[in-house]
Amino acid sequence: MRKGDRQVIINSQKVTITERDEAQGLIAQRDFGGTKKWRTCYVSDGTGHAMLYTASDRAIAEGIDVHERKEAISLIHDGHRCYGAVVRDLITGELSVYLAKATALATGGAGKVYRVTTNAIICEGIGHALALETGVACLGNMEAVQFHPTGIVPLGILVTEGCRGDGGLLRDVDGHRFMPDYEPEKKELASRDVVSRRMEEHIRKGKGVKSRFGEHLWLDITLLGRHHIEHNLREVKEICESFMGIDPAEKWIPVRPAHHYTMGGVRTNHTGESQQLKGLFAAGEAACWDMHGFNRLGGNSVAETVVAGMIVGEFISDFCDKKENDIDIPMSLAQQFYDSEKAKLGSLLNSAGKENAFKLNTEMQEIMTSSVGIFRNGDALAEGVKHLQDLLKRSRNIGLTSKVPGVNPELVMAYRVQKMLKVALAIAYGAQNRTESRGAHFREDYPHRNDQEWLKRTLAFWRDGADLPELQYETLDVMKMELPPGWRGYGAKDYIDHPDTAKRQAEIDEIRKQMEGSDRFAVQDKIMPFRDKLPASLRGRNERLDEPLNG
């Protein structure tokens, strides 16, 4: 081994990485899909786990109370200011009120509105729904949803792209290898979104394999041989064994593209605060903080959670320190929200309705997967939106078969599906109205990115009593961008430019030319200053190996 070489395990695979001598002992970094530099910090095969436990240990060290098994079911607000939440105890079923100067939603993604998702089963988008249901705060870019081609069926756990990279094949119900029919050149090795789309297209043609858990296709790696699988695709073998009881050297793996990441979320400004509802903040996957656009790079999400935790956390604490943000707690308002939630749960429990909450949930998931998936078009989206609206109506007529005291899982499903349907509608309706393709949002009927008309964020509001979200659009200013939207560096140049793009690019090129030789901070300040947007305590320069801090 060369000096600086290190054997590490990444996703259960042994990899040798070479670190520069001077980087030895710092947090390890590597490259990740779509990036040119080593910029993704990692901890063996458990980066998220290591971060989560460190944060949790710190919270315990600081004596911070964590109220586990409590679910926010409604935000308390007066149309201008958020005052906290009504919370349900998931052990006793009791309701209580949390009053606060600042309320933060860090409730994660909304994967469970889809039938097949890599997400945990708690990623139900309830936080998104809470913001939406205020009727005041809004969600941004909800139609931006990322998919991954090979989730195992039915669990949705990911198997690596390495399977196809190494020569694995995709087959249909007849055992036929279908990818060459669609992509004669690249076959299984076409890009992630293309493969996902072709798989869905093939299933739509009736070529999927039916199973009790829905339709799927086969990933065949048997032809790679046992030796290769056991040495180079160990993680895949383990997943197949532990979660399907399949030996992938002998049998084909049932796969289907799976929902993976929710780019959209509660629309905030740079401090993490809602632009409409003062005192309501959002961070992490639940937020639309502009960390991601219509796609997301690997590694950026767990990075967002800690960076937003630091920045938004600091802003929240500043917010609470300011005298002008003091509140007189409006007890009558809190009581009103509490009573209203209590009444809603009561009427669900006592309803003579005939609708089954679990069934509605399954139907919603099926529609989202089939009509608002990877592969979208106007007709299917219109159909999907109508169907979801119908489900929303039916969800007001849910009846429960049991009234057991305590958490009551059926009651939980009932009030959650009512909320999830609104989130699903925000996604579907946003997708229906965005008549272009951008990032993970692909429209068969509008296959090109259209910066001229669509360089804007979708904002979805849910007004009181409405049965569809209200969409507004927030235009982006190309003249303020550091990187005006251009060619991605690969693929066809088949997008429609924004009229300002060329002008802005020329401006930036000119600045760079004029400032050649200046330090990069000066150039950054000239092109796009950002330090003033950070909390004061975080404005310092970060030390880098080649830029040591003095003193």
Partner 1 sequence: MSETQKTAAPGGQTRHRMLTFHILRYNPQDPDSKPHMQSYQLEEAEGMTLFLALSEIREHQDPTLQYDFVCRAGICGSCSMLINGRPGLACRTLTKDLGTEITLAPLPVFELIGDLSVNTGKWMRGMSERLETWVHTKEQELNLDKAEERMDPDLAESIYELDRCVECGSCVAACGTAQMRNDFVGAVGMNKVARFKLDPRDTRTDDDFYELVGDDSGVFGCMSLLGCHDVCPKELPLQTQIAFLRRKMISVGLK
The catalytic residues are 148, 164
- Given a contact cutoff of 8 angstroms between Cβ atoms, the answer to whether 311 and 44 are in contact is no
CA dist 428 and 384 (Å) reads 7
Contact pick of 103, 118, 274, 395 for ligand FAD (by CB under 6 A): 118
Report what 333 binds from ligand FAD, partner 1, none; CB cut-off 5-8 Å by kind. Answer: none
Q: Are strands 169-171 and 456-461 parallel, antiparallel or unpaired?
A: unpaired
* Amino acid in position 30: R
Name residues contacting ligand FAD, limited to 138-177 (CB under 6 A). 158
DSSP designation for 261: E
Residue 382 lies near partner 1 (rule: CB under 8 A)? no
What is the sign of the dihedral through the CA atoms of 421, 422, 424 and 429? positive
Q: How far is the CB of 251 from partner 1 (least distance, A)?
A: 5
Q: How far is the CB of 122 from ligand FAD (least distance, A)?
A: 4
Contact pick of 214, 299, 430, 484 for ligand FAD (by CB under 6 A): 299
Report what 400 binds from ligand FAD, partner 1, none; CB cut-off 5-8 Å by kind. Answer: partner 1
Residue 75 lies near ligand FAD (rule: CB under 6 A)? no
Residues in contact with ligand FAD, shown as a per-residue x/- string from 264 to 293 under the rule CB under 6 A: --------------------xxx-------
Residue 155 lies near partner 1 (rule: CB under 8 A)? yes
Contact pick of 58, 186, 503, 531 for partner 1 (by CB under 8 A): 58
CA distances to 24, 97, 294, 482, 483 from 486, rounded to whole Å, are 37, 49, 14, 12, 8
- Number of residues located near partner 1, criterion CB under 8 A: 75
Task: Name the residue among 170, 359, 179 with its Cα closest to residue 255.
Answer: 170
Q: Where are the alpha helices (DSSP H) in 396-519?
A: 409-433, 451-454, 501-514
DSSP designation for 389: H
Report what 405 binds from ligand FAD, partner 1, none; CB cut-off 5-8 Å by kind. Answer: partner 1
Contact pick of 91, 331, 506, 528 for partner 1 (by CB under 8 A): 91
Report what 409 binds from partner 1, ligand FAD, none; CB cut-off 5-8 Å by kind. Answer: partner 1
Residues in contact with partner 1, shown as a per-residue x/- string from 342 to 361 under the rule CB under 8 A: ----------------x---
- Given a contact cutoff of 8 angstroms between Cβ atoms, the answer to whether 480 and 163 are in contact is no
Residue 540 lies near partner 1 (rule: CB under 8 A)? yes
Query: Biggest alpha carbon distance in the chain?
Result: 75
Interface segment toward partner 1; rule CB under 8 A; list 199-207, 281-289, 402-410, 471-479: 402-410
Nearer to ligand FAD, 303 or 307 (CB): 303
Residue 544 lies near partner 1 (rule: CB under 8 A)? yes
Q: How far is the CB of 107 from ligand FAD (least distance, A)?
A: 3
Interface segment toward partner 1; rule CB under 8 A; list 53-61, 388-396, 420-428, 448-456: 53-61
Contact pick of 134, 295, 300, 437 for ligand FAD (by CB under 6 A): 300
CA dist 254 and 171 (Å) reads 10
Report what 71 binds from partner 1, ligand FAD, none; CB cut-off 5-8 Å by kind. Answer: ligand FAD
Residue 127 lies near ligand FAD (rule: CB under 6 A)? yes
DSSP-based three-state secondary structure for 341: helix
Q: How far is the CB of 248 from partner 1 (least distance, A)?
A: 10
Taking the mean position of all CA atoms in its chain, how far away is CA 327?
Answer: 33
Angle at alpha carbon of residue 9, lines to 8 and 14, rounded to 5°: 85
Residue 519 lies near partner 1 (rule: CB under 8 A)? no
CA dist 376 and 431 (Å) reads 8
* Amino acid in position 397: N
CA dist 270 and 495 (Å) reads 29
Q: How far is the CB of 343 from ligand FAD (least distance, A)?
A: 19
Residue 400 lies near partner 1 (rule: CB under 8 A)? yes
CA dist 287 and 439 (Å) reads 18
Structure-token pair, residue 327:
């509140």
CA dist 548 and 48 (Å) reads 28
Q: How far is the CB of 478 from ligand FAD (least distance, A)?
A: 28
DSSP-based three-state secondary structure for 105: strand
Residue 530 lies near partner 1 (rule: CB under 8 A)? no
C-alpha R_g of the chain? 25
Residue 171 lies near partner 1 (rule: CB under 8 A)? yes
Nearer to partner 1, 216 or 457 (CB): 216
CA dist 375 and 394 (Å) reads 27
Interface segment toward partner 1; rule CB under 8 A; list 170-178, 443-451, 477-485, 528-536: 170-178
Q: Where are the alpha helices (DSSP H) in 11-76?
A: 47-61
Give the number of residues written for the chain: 551
Binding site for ligand FAD (CB under 6 A): 48, 71-72, 106-109, 118-119, 122-123, 126-127, 158, 261, 284-286, 298-303, 305
